[in-house]
Structure 1
C-alpha cells in the first residue's frame, strides 16, 4: 500500500489503533476508567483528549513507519496552553501496522508541556506563486532528540497517567 497516497486514511487508522491499545490497557488493568474524546475543531494542535487517574491529557499524535528518516515533527505552540499537553510519535510497521516503538514529548501527569521557546518556527511545505514558503507562526519544529523513547504502550500509558501497568490487578495501586 502506498502510505503517502492515503496518508489521511493512515493517520486516522494509526490514531484508532493507538486508542484501541490504550483502551485495552484500561480494560485489562485499570477497571475501564479511561475516557477518550476528539475535538470537533483542530485549532490548538491536539488530536485526542484522554482522561484517567485524575489526569487530562491533550495529545498531538504523529506517526512514522519504522525505518523512517524523519528527524523532527511540527508541533502547534498552543498545545502548551492545554492541561498536560503532550506529543506522542507513534512508529508502526508498514506491512502489519503493528505499533511501536513510541516517542513521547511531555511533562509528568498534571504538568504543562515543556517550553517550546527557542524552537525553529515551521514553514509551509508548499511555496506561493513565487516559490516563497511563509512561516507558520503557531507551529514549531520539534527535534526527535527532545522525545523520550518507549518500547511499549504500557510505558506510554504510565507517562500519560502516572499509573504503572502490570496486568495483574483490576484497580490502581
Structure 2
C-alpha cells in the first residue's frame, strides 16, 4: 500500500483518471479467474460474450452449467468514497441479470466481491422503485435532468461474498455450482 498521504492521493488520482482502463483490466482478470477456477474443477462448458457497449445494462454474458448470466460489472477502489452504483433498468429484462461489484486494491487485485441478483435462472430483483439517477451536469436553469432507465443502488443492498475463497462464492452465485471441498 502507498506509504504517505501524497502517494495515496496519487494512486487515487490515477484510478479516477484511468477508470475505464482499470475496469477493463479488472474485467479481463475476473473472466480469467472464473475460467481458471472452472477448469480446475473440470467444468469445461463455459462461454463468455462481451457487450460492445452496455445500452442493455450488461457488460458481459457468461454461461456454464446450463445457466446464462447477463452481468453488469462495477469496480471501485478499496476504502474509496463510492457508496452507490447506477444500474440500467434494462438489465432486469435479461435472463438471470445480476450486478457484481468488485472492490480492488491499488494493484487491481480483487479484495471483495459484492453481489446483487437472484438465484440462477431468476431475473434481477425489481429495482424500479430505487432512487433515480440524475445527470452530473446541470442545464442552463441549473437543473440536473433525470437519466431515464437508471436507478441507484447503495452498497448496503449488495451481498458481500466473503469467506476463504471469495471466487468460489461468486461462482456459486453465478451458476449455482457449489464450492469444492479442499
Tell me the TM-score normalised to structure 2 length.
0.87
Aligned length: 167
Q: What corresponds to 1:126 in structure 2?
A: 137
Are residues 1:26 and 2:14 paired? no
Q: What corresponds to 1:171 in structure 2?
A: none
Question: Does structure 1 retain, via aligned residues, the 8 Å contact 2:89–2:128?
Answer: no
Q: What corresponds to 1:58 in structure 2?
A: 70
Q: What corresponds to 1:83 in structure 2?
A: 95
2: CA distance, partners of 1:123 / 1:91: 24
Moved more, 50-59 or 112-121: 112-121
Question: Does structure 2 retain, via aligned residues, the 8 Å contact 1:29–1:165?
Answer: no
1: CA distance, partners of 2:53 / 2:158: 26
Question: Does structure 1 retain, via aligned residues, the 8 Å contact 2:85–2:152?
Answer: yes
Match of residue 98, structure 1, among 92, 109, 114: 109
Unaligned runs of 5+ in 2: 1-10
Partner of 2:61: helix, strand, or coil?
A: strand
- Give the structure, 1 or 2, with the largest relative contact order (CA under 8 Å, sep 6 or more): 1
Following superposition, the deviation at residue 72 of structure 1 comes to 1.1
Are residues 1:107 and 2:111 paired? no
Match of residue 160, structure 1, among 174, 178, 182: 174
Change (3 A) 1:118 1:73: same
Are residues 1:143 and 2:154 paired? yes
Q: What corresponds to 2:8 in structure 1?
A: none
Following superposition, the deviation at residue 89 of structure 1 comes to 0.2
Unaligned runs of 5+ in 1: 169-173
Q: CA RMSD in A?
A: 1.4
Following superposition, the deviation at residue 41 of structure 1 comes to 3.7
Match of residue 44, structure 1, among 56, 66, 71: 56
Following superposition, the deviation at residue 158 of structure 1 comes to 0.4
Partner of 1:114: helix, strand, or coil?
A: coil
2: CA distance, partners of 1:71 / 1:41: 24
2: CA distance, partners of 1:77 / 1:21: 28
Following superposition, the deviation at residue 106 of structure 1 comes to 0.2
